[in-house]
Amino acid sequence: MAYLNRTPSGATQPVTIGLIGSGWMGAFHAESIARRVPGAELAAIADPNVESATALASVLGASKVTADAADILADPEIDAVIIASPARFHSTLIAQAAAAGKHVFCEKPAGLGLDELDAALAAVEAAGVHFQVGFNRRYAADFQAAKKDLAAGTAGTPQLLRSLTRDPGTGSIPHAARVPAWTVFLETLIHDFDTLNWFNERAEPVEVYAIADALVEPGLRGQGFLDTAVVTIRYSNGAIAVAEASFSALYGYDIRGEVFGSKGMVQAGRATETVARRYTADGMSADTPRLNVELFRQAYTDELADFADAVRARRDGSSDDAAPSSAAYSLTPGGADARRALAMALACIESVKAGTPVRVNTAAVNTAAVNETAVL
Ligand SMILES: NC(=O)c1ccc[n+]([C@@H]2O[C@H](COP(=O)([O-])OP(=O)(O)OC[C@H]3O[C@@H](n4cnc5c(N)ncnc54)[C@H](O)[C@@H]3O)[C@@H](O)[C@H]2O)c1
């Protein structure tokens, strides 16, 4: 007796995905692929911690588990990879995956240095594979609504922009000693840099001035730990932006963005989970989101659905792999976006070290945009 076809003839084969790194973020992405992204299949998981990878695979029904990402890259049955290992492995894994012909979704940051990221993006280019970086805020409904307004000119010419990340916390950071150096810029504010760049799309970040400190864990200041930062950014169109981050907001996970321009203001994000308010004798209160996977549950799902659509389009030879055709604004964050935001984070590190403003190295990204507009 022969097997019945799992996929009816004429139906599209699912996009098969291998997960590389199955920790906090990887496990959530794995669950999204397995349960929330139609037309995608979680085929394999690679993590040196095979025990937890095996446990995750059995819950989600992934048939292949390995300690070594190379096994996934060599697997002809896998179309694409999601890279959610620690950041120090990202650019090497991107380059290896591209060389193996796999389409790549990589968590931010896509690398920790511009040279390594440029090499990875060159490998992506040479292989002709699709590349997307995990700037999930672009997929949050309110940020996308704001972007749509900005693209339509609602705020006019951008003059002042702001973006903030306040991670939920308890007022202390128990694992602080294990947080890699400069995480506040390379892994946290990098989201804000992308949001600001996306909101101020036709301009390039020219210069940053960053101040950072250990205000949540002052005892770790001497070891170079930083949990709080403010960055001012000058853009090539004259706009001035502020990005700020804290690793510990007692009231929950707080992500906001704003553009003020010649015609008005557009805002995205709010500190509260819903618009419901509770009024009692003690005053007014509202619930707040506590985790990134609560606030951005749908955005994390939608970024992977966008990725799967793009991979399917490439694999099956159909045309577009970018934003939905009805959208009049850019959406999918790619290599240039990953590099531009990383260049800002690296300039922030230099700024903190020097105590002065530092120019952003966007040379390899899009010098045309800088040249077109007046650089102050
Ligand atoms: N977009 C977001 O909102 C968001 C949120 C959290 C984390 N992240 C990013 O996701 C990435 C992972 O963060 P996390 O919090 O899940 O970390 P984590 O420490 O929870 O998980 C990392 C996993 O990678 C595994 N690993 C280590 N080396 C590996 C290798 N060479 N190949 C494969 N797997 C390897 C570890 O065993 C671990 O299971 C980071 O880049 C982080 O910045 C993004």
Please give the chain's pLDDT, 376 residues, in tens. 566 555 555 568 999 999 999 999 999 999 999 999 999 999 999 999 999 999 999 999 999 999 999 999 999 999 999 999 999 999 999 999 999 999 999 999 999 999 999 999 999 999 999 999 999 999 999 999 999 999 999 999 999 999 999 999 999 998 998 999 999 999 999 999 999 999 999 999 999 999 999 999 999 999 999 999 999 999 999 999 999 999 999 999 999 999 999 999 999 998 888 889 999 999 999 999 999 999 999 999 999 999 999 999 999 987 554 445 456 899 999 999 999 999 999 999 999 999 999 999 987 544 333 333 322 2
Centre of ligand 1 from the C-alpha of residue 25, in Å: 6
- Burial (Cβ within 10 Å: 0-12, 13-18, ≥19) of residue 148: middle
Phi, psi of 207 (to 5 degrees): -150, 145
Q: Which position has the token pair 């020219």?
A: 206
Ligand 1 in reach of 301 Cβ (< 6 A): no
**CATH number given to 15-135+299-316:** 3.40.50.720
State how far the Cα of 232 lies from the Cα of 357, in Å rounded to an integer: 9
Q: From atom 4 of ligand 1, which residue's Cα is the shortest distance away?
A: 25
pTM of the model: 0.93
In the chain, where are the structural domains located? 15-135+299-316, 138-295+334-372
Ligand 1 in reach of 26 Cβ (< 6 A): yes
User: How many CB atoms sit inside 10 A of residue 106's CB?
Assistant: 28
Centre of ligand 1 from the C-alpha of residue 85, in Å: 4
> What is the widest separation between alpha-carbon atoms in the chain?
74
- Span between the terminal Cα atoms of the chain, in Å: 74
Select from 24, 83, 300 the residue to mutate for testing ligand 1; criterion: most ligand atoms less than 8 Å from CB. Answer: 24
Q: From atom 5 of ligand 1, which residue's Cα is the shortest distance away?
A: 25
Q: Which fold has domain 138-295+334-372?
A: Dihydrodipicolinate Reductase; domain 2 (3.30.360)
Q: Which tokens belong to 32?
A: 């999204």
Select from 85, 292, 294 the residue to mutate for testing ligand 1; criterion: most ligand atoms less than 8 Å from CB. Answer: 85
Ligand 1 in reach of 44 Cβ (< 6 A): no
User: How many CB atoms sit inside 10 A of residue 70's CB?
Assistant: 13
Centre of ligand 1 from the C-alpha of residue 19, in Å: 11
